[in-house]
Chains A and B, each alone.
Chain A
Amino acid sequence: MKYKISNLTELQISALREIVNIGVGNAVTSLSKMISKEVKIEVPGLKVELIEKVPEIAGGADIIVSGVIMHLTGDVEGYIMMMLSEETTETICNIITNEENTDILDPLNQSLIEEVGHILAGSYVSSLSDFLGLNIKISPPMQTFDMLGAIIDHILIEMSTKAQHALLFDTLFMIEGNRMNGLFLTLFDPDSMDIILERIDRMI
């Protein structure tokens, strides 16, 4: 590892934040078009945390969410996770299926949410790829409805064999300003962080 993620410069941090901002911005624009509703995002947070603290930072290990996880491969390795609260999941399903009170546990609706996550992550990742000039592939999505900690712990376990800290990008988004909300989490492998930071250093 060339760079220490606990030791980034201000310039590197703002460049990273900007890249994520553009990526998530593109993703929510796709979401907004899909459901014909306004979707707002917060300025992405960028945190360097002990891996075992990640569930707390993401909102709590026991909050129940609809989670979609995708594995990133290619020039960089990592994970993208989209977490939606129960209400948000239902809202998105209601809008897309044009029904009321959809059952979010129905397999059809689960695959619908899975596909929404895939589309969002797809536009996010293609914007990252373009910006950084890296080839990043995205795996098929995996969706489940469960406790946040349980959904992501195997990813944190995998990360923890390679590093102690994780660089965590989290972006909250809101649909039409309601309390319904969602969260995007991105985690990169330590070696992949090196590659990304090298690209950034060349640019700035």
Chain B
Amino acid sequence: MIIVGMADSAVARKPVKLTTLGLGSCVGISLYDKSTGVGGMVHIMLPSIEQARSKDNRAKFADTGIPALLDSMVEEGAYKHRTTAKIAGGASMFSFNSNTQLNIGERNVTATKQSLKELRIPIIAEDIGLNYGRTIILDTENGELTVKSALKGIKTY
């Protein structure tokens, strides 16, 4: 099992599993090409690199992290046009919030969907929003995404 940290990404080949832990407002994107068994995961924190002060880490942003992940998967042998996406996260953990963090979870989800649309990667499952954290595991054996939570049980997509 490869653990993908916050603002981090990784690519793996069947039968290795990929996981990212404790997604709140962040979004976890898992990409998978069934024909080759190549999978990838990225844990993004922010929608866009454009206004960022530091642009060193592309995996931090939806608009750079997702294309970069797809490129790395293609390098590993995945076919872009056979790759599908499953996404999770983008919660609002607290109902409060100051202006700057207004719906950051929602903005991350919107940017994620936009990026996948531009890349023509279909989203075949999503477990997003609401107010709880998620840990996700991608099984590159079959492309199944398991979503675990503290109190809301386990779901498989």
Contacts and interface: CB of A to CB of B under 8 A. Distances in A.
A41 interface: no
A149 B23 contact: yes
Contacts of A61: 6, 21-22, 135
A55 B7 CA distance: 12
Nearest to A71: B98
Nearest to B6: A52
A149 B150 contact: no
B26 to A, nearest CB: 5
A149 B22 contact: yes
B43 to A, nearest CB: 9
Nearest to B98: A71
Contacts of B23: 149-150, 153
Contacts of B51: 161
A152 interface: yes
Interface string A39-63: 0000000000000110110001110
A146 B21 CA distance: 12
Given A61-B6, A153-B45, A69 B94 contact: yes
Contacts of B101: 154, 157-158
Interface in B88-102: 91-94, 96-98, 100-101
A160 interface: yes
B151 A150 contact: no
Given A149-B22, A160-B60, A154 B96 contact: no
A147 interface: yes
Contact of A142 (B7, B25, B45, B94): B94
B104 interface: yes
A146 B25 contact: no
B129 interface: no
A168 B26 CA distance: 20
Interface string B1-13: 0000111100000
Contact of A152 (B24, B46, B150): B24
A151 interface: yes
Interface in A135-186: 139, 142, 144-154, 156-158, 160-164
Given A146-B24, A146-B150, A164-B53, 5 more contacts: A62-B135, A148-B22, A149-B24, A153-B23, A157-B25
Interface of B: 5-8, 21-26, 45-46, 51-54, 56-57, 60, 91-94, 96-98, 100-101, 104-105, 131-135, 149-151
